[in-house]
Amino acid sequence: MKKLLIVLVASVSSVLFAAKTDVKVVKSNVADHTVAKEFTGKNGGVFRYRIADKASSDGSKVPLVFFLHGAGERGADNVAQLRHGVGDLVRYLDAKEKGYRLIAGQVPYGKRWVEVNWGAKSHKMPDAPSDTMALLLEMLDTQLADPTIDLSRVYVSGISMGGYGTWDLISRRPEVFAAALPICGGGDVEMASKIAQIPIWTFHGSADGAVPVCRSRNMVAALWANGSNAHYREYPDAGHAVWIETYKDKKVLAWFFKQKKK
């Protein structure tokens, strides 16, 4: 059995002491490049999301990217979810892709992508998805039916609460995704056999006080035990906000978006 090797990567101080982004700054930079929309599910539930939709310059199909935000960005304004990560993803895609579609949904106050205890050292994936995840799954199917989407290039990444959501989403629909980047989240290790074929690179800070670092370590160990080639980067002495450094790493994003589903 492959043993879990903890790879420690030097991190900058901004990971440890991340300043809270001003929503006004977010609006002027990222929101200008996205459009606010709503999806209504079959049971009447509403899923608010922002979309950056860039048609391909040569008429080819485009990759589909989902971003799942953290707990601090919940609400009903349909903009706070842009606070972290989305700007880096959009800038990279603009520079490297002929076209793309990026969707960043927003979880309402009091709800979660996955209704589990974030501080626990493990959890079993609920049989039914959370209310918000159920709506995202419904909308996912409508996106996959769009003939402009490259079905070999569907991606998901999320931070903290959205890291949990990323593990949950790929576990519920493993046949869909070309790659996943869960950051400081956790999944159900019993799902490892279902998702072992998906290219995954996960990240965590060794001193994370919000989500135990064992959540990422244990997921990677379970994946490796099932034949996965998943990657793991652990930032030494870093706290919770390791997404700052991760999304600014062009090598990480280059790896992510070069993955294609066979």
Res. 165: pLDDT tops 90: yes
pLDDT value at 25 more than 60 = no
Would you state the pLDDT for residue 5?
47
For the cut 90, the answer to whether the pLDDT of residue 193 exceeds it is yes
Residue spans of alpha helices (H) in the chain:
13-16, 23-29, 86-96, 131-144, 161-172, 192-195, 214-225, 243-248, 250-258
For 140-160, how does the pLDDT look when each residue is reduced to its tens digit (9 = 90+)? 999 999 999 999 999 999 999
pLDDT attached to residue 241: 97
User: Which band of pLDDT confidence, cut at 50, 70 and 90, is reported for residue 185?
Assistant: very high
Residue 114 to residue 72: CA distance in whole angstroms: 15
For the chain, what is the mean pLDDT?
Answer: 91
| pLDDT at res. 217 | 98
- Gap between the Cα atoms of 247 and 146, Å rounded: 28
Residue 46: Cβ-neighbour burial (10 angstroms; 0-12, 13-18, 19+): exposed
- Looking at residue 75, its pLDDT comes to 98
DSSP, collapsed to helix, strand or coil, labels residue 170 as helix
**With bands split at pLDDT 50, 70 and 90, how would you rate the model's confidence at 4?**
low
CA 253 to CA 231: how far, in whole Å? 13
- The pLDDT, as a whole number, for residue 13 is 30
Q: Does 168 score more than 50 pLDDT? A: yes
Flag whether pLDDT at 9 surpasses 50.
no
- Give the pLDDT band (50/70/90) at residue 17: very low
% the chain with pLDDT above 90? 86
Q: Note the pLDDT of residue 2.
A: 53
Confidence of residue 32 (pLDDT cuts 50, 70, 90): confident
pLDDT tens per residue across span 196-220: 999 999 999 999 999 999 999 999 9
Q: Is the pLDDT of residue 51 over 80?
A: yes
262 pLDDT tier (thresholds 50, 70, 90): confident
Q: Domain boundaries in the chain?
A: 13-258
Taking the C-alpha atoms of residue 164 and residue 27, their distance in angstroms, rounded to an integer, is 26
Token pair in block for residue 212: 């135990």
Least trusted range by pLDDT, from 9-13, 33-37, 53-57: 9-13
Q: What percent of the chain has pLDDT over 70?
A: 89
Residue 42's pLDDT band (boundaries 50, 70, 90)? very high
Please state which CATH number belongs to domain 13-258.
3.40.50.1820
pLDDT of 28 over the 90 cut: no
Position 216 scores a pLDDT of: 98
